[in-house]
A and B are shown apart, each in its own frame.
Chain A
Amino acid sequence: MASRGSYPHPVLDNSDDISGDFRISSALVTPAPDFVDLQFDVRVENAEFEEMLDTGAAAIRARWKCSATFSSGALDLRVAPLDNGSLRCEAQLDQDDVDGRTDISLYIVAGRPLDLDLASQHGDYGGATFAVARGAVLAHAGTFSFDARKSYDPMRPPLESCFRFLKKEGKKPFVDIDSSLDEHIDVYIPEAQYEQFTDQAAMPEVQVATVVLPALVQALVDCAAETDPDVGGWKATLRSLCERHSVTGSDPLVQAQAILGDPIATGFNRLALLIQDEEGE
């Protein structure tokens, strides 16, 4: 069996303790003014676990943790089955409770004390039976993170408040933006890339390097063309961000990289880590 953390009983995760699969896919994080909307799909591929979930012997549990706000808790999940056999999970987090990196971990836990004797447990366990207590972790699908960075004062406006990412109608290629609105910029992403974009919610570095960076460069170009010194909305936010990063008057590409915190290097570093992880498996 693969070695990992020490559980006193077999657990369905990415080890071979128990045959089958329990994983998260398509995590989508949508910040709104008062809440962060979370949506992700979960796949449970193990008949014994499906039965435990159906009978209430076990339950899906999603916990969140935000180190910056000293807060953690369990998500109040709304779970609905999808046609493809996955479960669609939806929940909300209060914006007042999260800031910066927030981790979401997904488990299946025992809903009551159980004598666990699974046909799907690894052969090395033989016919062993494990007495597990209520709350015992029976399956772990992993953890995904998102950056809830924001601020409540106008001196540190959040960049994400400038953009709205939308699915582009029709078959025309390429991402384009509409900067004619005062409050925010609409970024239109072709349908196929939009799905890929939302699929990468757990890897914001990829979203930033591929979509946000070029959109921000274009927005900064449009912002520079504005001659009125007393603007509001997204233009005021971008001007403020440029001041904060001491790049007022620099080229838009330099400004965008400063505001986003060197997104190209960050994106490549993330890719390198991914490749390293895959090679390690």
Chain B
Amino acid sequence: MKKVSSVGRARVLREDSTDAIWGALQDATSPNDFLELSASLVRDPDNLLELPFDSSDLPDLTTGPDRAKAEIENAVLIYEALGAMPKVAAADERLWTYLALGPCRPYMEQRWPISDIRSWKNRTQDRWLMKSATYGVLIRHGISRLWWLADMTFDPGLTRPLSSESGDPWAYLKVALANEDRILAIFDRDAGLVSGIRFALLEHCYRAEGKATETWLRALMKEVTLTSGYRDLSVLDATELAVVLAELDPDALTSSST
């Protein structure tokens, strides 16, 4: 596993600097053009503001052949460094743009490279920059997704079944990042915003083991979305949610219809 170095205190870009970086992307004729210009903007201290709360030095983020393992470690590291920020601060596009182009750039260049792909501007927009935060954007950005996935799955009190059974407060994070399909399927949906439903879905994926394929998960989420349209699943406790998900499981629906 290769370590990529990045140490420094977290800051955010000023708003006009964020705009300038978007302008640089539009004008750039090559990835190198963009990376050089954006690096000069991020290096200029006049373009930065200090975060209004304490944070540790930023960690070294890693990449390697076992992508899921590396991403789990990265998510924990970035979350522990930035801490449990207020949601409003963690939704600030200037923070994530700064981290991706500044301290975490070596990691970004390896995990989300833009030099060798034809649609490099699209990838830069999706994974490196952030214009305005919505949950779809936050869960795609290369750095923000690490913090948000950690925040939304962390169970420090070991109060939920998987973390309690394993004694691991990051048990649900590991289930989420074990398969990239789960991230968009669960976290880019309204149902995924509700913590009880989110934890229940991850637990259901974990218990499903090998059958939790992309197709299976897509079918399950379709049923969850349909059911959420006429039933407020957030009123249900963990036991009730487990029963509902078992009923909505594509395998259960298939067997009940035959």
Contact = CB atoms under 8 A, between A and B. Distances in A.
A78 interface: no
B12 interface: yes
B152 interface: yes
B157 interface: no
Contact of B91 (A9, A73, A99, A156): A99
A146 B177 CA distance: 34
B148 interface: yes
Interface stretch (A43-51, A132-140, A188-196, A220-228): A132-140
Contacts of A107: 232
B218 interface: no
B118 interface: no
Interface in A1-22: 5-9, 11
B253 interface: no
Contact of B89 (A65, A73, A152): A152
A260 interface: no
B193 A70 contact: yes
Size range of the chain A interface in the assembly: 35 or more
A8 B234 CA distance: 19
B133 interface: yes
Interface string B21-32: 000000000000
Given A61-B235, A99-B88, A136-B231, A153 B49 contact: yes
A72 B194 contact: yes
A70 B87 CA distance: 8
B12 to A, nearest CB: 7
Contacts of A134: 235-236, 240
B88 A6 contact: no
A9 B194 CA distance: 24
A73 B152 CA distance: 13
B48 to A, nearest CB: 11
Contacts of A135: 231-236
Given A61-B235, A135-B235, A153-B49, A68 B91 contact: yes
Given A96-B86, A98-B88, A134-B240, A74 B230 contact: no
A70 B152 contact: yes
A108 to B, nearest CB: 10
A136 B234 contact: no
A69 B231 contact: no
B88 A69 contact: yes
Interface string B123-152: 000000000111100110000000010001
Given A65-B193, A70-B148, A136-B230, A152 B236 contact: no
A215 B148 CA distance: 40
Nearest to B88: A99
B236 A97 contact: no
Q: Which of B52, B92, B138 counts the most chain A CB atoms within 10 A?
A: B92
Contacts of B12: 153
Contacts of A65: 190, 193
Nearest to B16: A244
A150 interface: yes
Contacts of B138: 70
A68 B15 contact: no
Interface string A142-182: 00000000111101100000000000000000000000000
Interface centre among B15, B49, B135, B152, by most chain A C-beta atoms within 10 angstroms, is B135
Contacts of B229: 5-7
B14 interface: yes
A95 B148 contact: no
B49 A155 contact: yes
A96 B92 CA distance: 12
Contacts of A5: 229-230
Interface string B226-246: 000111111110001000000
Contact of A71 (B49, B52, B193): B193
B52 A153 contact: yes
A9 B15 CA distance: 49
Contacts of A68: 91, 132-134
26 contacts: A7-B230, A68-B91, A68-B133, A69-B88, A70-B87, A70-B91, A70-B139, A70-B152, A70-B193, A71-B87, A71-B193, A72-B190, A73-B234, A74-B234, A96-B87, A97-B87, A98-B88, A109-B231, A133-B231, A135-B232, A135-B234, A136-B230, A137-B230, A150-B88, A156-B15, A244-B16
Q: Which 10 A-B pairs have the closest CB atoms?
A: A96-B86, A69-B87, A72-B193, A135-B235, A70-B135, A67-B134, A99-B88, A135-B232, A69-B91, A7-B230
Given A69-B87, A70-B91, A99-B91, 13 more contacts: A7-B229, A66-B87, A70-B87, A71-B193, A72-B190, A96-B87, A107-B232, A151-B92, A152-B86, A152-B89, A153-B49, A153-B52, A244-B16
